[in-house]
Structure 1
C-alpha cells in the first residue's frame, strides 16, 4: 500500500507540472523555441546526469552481479511488445508508414521522462542500478529497431518527400553515430566506474544530484507545453489510438506481470518480485517523446506521433494508477 501511495503522489505531481507547462505557453511566457531548448537540455544534460549520478552513488560490482536479471527482463519486455503490436497493427488493418509509426508509439515507453523518476521513488536503494542496466537494452533497441520503424515506408507520400536514400555503408555509420549520445555515454561511463571499483566523491555527486533532480519537473513542463503548440488532436479520430492505449498501457503490463511472476515462481527467471514490478510499470508507460522527434526529423507523420505522445501521457495518469493497484 505504501508503494501505491508513492505512485499516486507521483501521478498527482506529474499532472500539476503538465498543467504548469500548458499554462506557461498559453500565457505566452515562452513558445516553441524555448520548448526546443528545454528538450535539448533534457536529452543531452539533465537525464544523462540523473542516471549517472544515481548509478554511481554507492553501487558496487556485487550490485551489478546481483541485478543483471533486469537486462533479461527488459529484453523479454521489448520482444513481447514488438511481437504483440506487430500483430495488433495487422489486425487493425494499418498500412505503410502509419502501421510502423503506430508500432513505434506502442513499443517504446517514456522511461526517460516518466519512468526514471517513478522507479527512483519506488525503489530508492536499487532503482539507479536497475535504470542503468535497463537503459543499455532500451537504448540499443531504440536506436536500431525504433529508428527503422520511424523511417518513411518506400512508395508512400512520406517516403517520396524525404531525401534520397543513402548507401548501406552510410546508413550503418549513421546508426553507429546515434549510439554516441549523452544518455548512452553516461550509462557506459557509470558502469565502467562501478566495474573498476572507482568511488565518486560526495562533493562531486551532490551537485550532480541537484542537476539531475531538475529532469522530472522540466520534462513534464515540456510535455505540457507541447499540448499548447502542436496540432495533436487529429489523432483522436484514429481508431487504433483507443485500442492501443488500453492494450499497451493496461492489458499488456498486467499480462506481463502475470507471466513473469509465474515464470519466477518456478525458477525460470533470475529476477526478484520487485524487478518484475518495475518492468511491469515500465511496460505501461506512455509513448516515448523521442519517437515524435524521429518522425518529425524525417517528415513522417509527425503530428500523428506527437498526438500519441500527448494523449498517452494524459491517459497514463489513470492507467498507471490501475496497474499499480494490481502489481504493488
Structure 2
C-alpha cells in the first residue's frame, strides 16, 4: 500500500470518528438544530475564511500563481464536465423543476471547504498543494455564487443576476482576495496575528466534520432509499467521474495537481448548496438527503479512488 493511500485511509478514519461524535451529540440533544445553525454560520463566516487566508497568504509566491495556468484550465474543464454529466444524469433520472436544478448543483459542487482542504493538506505537504487550493477556490466561489445561486433560484420568476453578484461578496471571497493582495504586494502580517488566524482556521477539520455528523442525524433515512437518483449521482460523481478525470488530466497536468483535482472531483456534495437552497425556497429536503448519502459514501469511495488511481 502506497504512503498516499495510507494517509487517505487514516484521514477517512479520523473524518468518520469526528462525524460520529457530531452524530451522537445531535442524538443526545447537545447539537440541536439551532446549535447546528449557529455552528454553520461560525464555520462559513469565520473559520473557513481564516483557513483560506492562512493558506493563500503564506507559503505561496506570486510566481507560483503565475505558473498555475494549466491547473486553472484543468479546474474549468472539470467543472464543465461535472455540469454536463449532472444535466445528463438528471434527464436520465427524469427529474424536473427544483429537484433537477438542485441535482445539477450537487453534481457540480463538492465539499471542498469541509472535507477537501483538510484532506489535501494532510496528503500533500509541498507548496503546489496550497497553490492548487487557492486557484480552485477562486473558480469554485465564482461559480457557486453565480451558477449555484442561479440553479437554486431559477424556479423563482423574481430571481436576478444582481443578487448573485452581491452574494459573491462574502467572508470567504473577502479572505481569499485579501490574502492575494497581501501575498502579491508582500505586505508583512504580524506573526502573532497570523498565528491567531492559522489557529482559528486549524479548527476547521474538527468543527466542520462534527457539524456534518450532527446535520446527518436529522435526515430521514427512510425517504432517502425511495429516491434512486440520489444513488445514481453518488456512483456517477464519486466513482466514475474521478477515474475519467484522472485519465484525461494525465494529458496535460503533472502528477500532484492531477491527483489533487481527482480527489476534489470525487468529494461529496457541497453542504453550502443546501444553505443556498434554503434561502431561495428550492428543494432543500432533496439537497440534504443527497449530502447525507454522498458524505457517508465518501468514507468508502475516497479510499477506493485512491487505490484505483495509484494502480493506473
Q: TM-score range by the shorter chain?
A: over 0.9
1:64 maps onto 2:39 in alignment:
no
- The residue correspondences of 1:35-46 to structure 2 (distance < 5 A) are 35-46=36-47
Q: Can you give the 5+ residue segments of structure 2 that lack an aligned partner in the other structure?
A: none
How far the C-alpha of 1:197 sits from its partner, in A, is 2.3
Give the whole-Å Cα distance in 2 for the aligned partners of 1:275 and 1:201.
31
Aligned position for 1:85: 86
Give the whole-Å Cα distance in 1 for the aligned partners of 2:167 and 2:101.
20
How far the C-alpha of 1:63 sits from its partner, in A, is 1.6
1:215 maps onto 2:204 in alignment:
yes
How far the C-alpha of 1:232 sits from its partner, in A, is 5.4
What SS is found at the alignment partner of 1:150? helix
Give the whole-Å Cα distance in 1 for the aligned partners of 2:174 and 2:82.
26
Match of 2:262 among 267, 280, 283: 280
Aligned position for 2:186: 197
Match of 2:139 among 134, 137, 140: 137
Aligned position for 2:303: 321
* Cα deviation code 1:232-284 (max 9, x no counterpart): 542321111111111110000100000111x22xxxxxx32110100011000
Aligned position for 1:47: 48
Give the whole-Å Cα distance in 2 for the aligned partners of 1:202 and 1:57.
11
Aligned position for 1:267: none
1:312 maps onto 2:305 in alignment:
no
Give the whole-Å Cα distance in 2 for the aligned partners of 1:96 and 1:82.
16
1:178 maps onto 2:167 in alignment:
yes
How many equivalent residue pairs? 308
Contact 2:146–2:161 (CA under 8 A) maintained in structure 1: no
How far the C-alpha of 1:15 sits from its partner, in A, is 0.3
How far the C-alpha of 1:34 sits from its partner, in A, is 0.8
Contact 1:104–1:146 (CA under 8 A) maintained in structure 2: yes
Contact 2:31–2:214 (CA under 8 A) maintained in structure 1: no
Task: State the superposition RMSD in angstroms.
Answer: 1.5
* Cα deviation code 1:201-244 (max 9, x no counterpart): 43322221111011111111111111222335423211111111
Contact 1:152–1:298 (CA under 8 A) maintained in structure 2: no
Give the whole-Å Cα distance in 1 for the aligned partners of 2:236 and 2:150.
23
Q: Can you give the 5+ residue segments of structure 1 that lack an aligned partner in the other structure?
A: 154-158, 265-270
- Tell me whether 207-216 or 293-302 shows the greater mean CA deviation: 293-302
Give the whole-Å Cα distance in 1 for the aligned partners of 2:189 and 2:9.
33
Aligned position for 2:176: 187
Aligned position for 1:22: 23
Match of 1:295 among 270, 277, 280: 277
1:100 maps onto 2:89 in alignment:
no
Contact 1:44–1:183 (CA under 8 A) maintained in structure 2: yes
Cα–Cα, structure 1 residues 11 and 196, in superposed 2: closer, same or farther, change >3 Å?
Answer: same
Give the whole-Å Cα distance in 2 for the aligned partners of 1:176 and 1:316.
32
- The residue correspondences of 1:114-263 to structure 2 (distance < 5 A) are 114-126=115-127, 127-151=129-153, 153=155, 165=158, 171-231=160-220, 233-261=222-250, 263=251
Give the whole-Å Cα distance in 1 for the aligned partners of 2:62 and 2:266.
30
Cα–Cα, structure 1 residues 68 and 232, in superposed 2: closer, same or farther, change >3 Å?
Answer: farther
Give the whole-Å Cα distance in 2 for the aligned partners of 1:193 and 1:123.
24
* Cα deviation code 1:133-174 (max 9, x no counterpart): 111100111111111111253xxxxx5xxxx725xxxx2331
- Tell me whether 122-131 or 23-32 shows the greater mean CA deviation: 122-131
Give the whole-Å Cα distance in 1 for the aligned partners of 2:154 and 2:58.
42
Give the whole-Å Cα distance in 1 for the aligned partners of 2:276 and 2:110.
14
Give the whole-Å Cα distance in 2 for the aligned partners of 1:136 and 1:114.
17
